[in-house]
Structure formats: structure tokens, C-alpha cells
Amino acid sequence: QVQLVESGGGLVQAGGSLRLSCAASGRTFGGYRMGWFRQAPGKEREFVAAINWSGGSTYYGDSVKGRFTVSRDDAKSTVYLQMNSLKPEDTAVYYCAAGPRYRRTYTLSADYDYWGQGIQVTVSS
């Protein structure tokens, strides 16, 4: 089992930045791919970003490319999502997720076995 706890959300003006953190506990963090998803009211959960088990590969949803950066610190068992140039349409509950390293894709919810409780990010115009 892996437990995930997100932090760093809140209210920010358009154009601003936030950094989300996701602290993992339980099984060895280094063996997992990590992902970020988000869900806005009335919309389906959307893939945001992911990083593979080694940190050598990263993946981004089209709507956040060039603005968001995912990274990991295995010594701290933490994954980060740096969000810059935020837009009102980035408003959502953001979820951290962990999955085994061997799956072929990174963008589907089914690629991940463990999920955090979610954290609200609100971008005002």
C-alpha cells in the first residue's frame, strides 16, 4: 500500500504560480511512476502530468505543456507539480497518483493504483 497526501493548493490570480507537493508513505517510493490528474466541476478527470520511476521521463497533457513541470525527490518520497502562468481554466481538484513502473502508458487513470485525497486549486481572473 502507498498513502499519498497532497499539499500546496489554494487561491491564486491568473498568471500566478503554485507548487503542489505529494508526499508518499508506505512501500518504496522509488519503484513507482507518479502522476497528477485534475477534475473540474461537471467534467471528467483529466491527465495533467506524470514522471516515470527514475525521473528520466516526463509526460504532460496538452493543456499544460510549457507551463507545468513535474519532478520527484526520492529521498523525500515526494513528487512536485510546479504550475506557472496559471489560467482560470486550471481551476480544479488536483490528485496525485502512484502506479507500478511496468505499465505501458502514463495518461490513463487505470495506469495508477493509489490516489491522494485531492487538493483544490482555484485561479481567479
pLDDT at 26 (0 to 100): 82
CB 68 within 8 A of CB 84: yes
**How many Cα neighbours within 13 Å face the side chain of 28?**
6
pLDDT at 29 (0 to 100): 79
Residue whose grid cell is 513507482: 32
pLDDT along the chain (125 residues), means of 10: 95 98 87 95 96 95 98 95 98 97 91 97 97
**pLDDT tens-digit readout, 2-35:** 999 999 999 999 999 999 999 999 877 788 999 9
Cα distances from 30 to residues 34, 58, 64, 78, in angstroms, run 10, 15, 25, 10
pLDDT at 88 (0 to 100): 97
pLDDT at 125 (0 to 100): 93
pLDDT at 69 (0 to 100): 98
pLDDT at 92 (0 to 100): 98
> What is the separation, in whole angstroms, between the first and last Cα of the chain?
40
Distance of CA 69 to the CA centre of its chain: 9
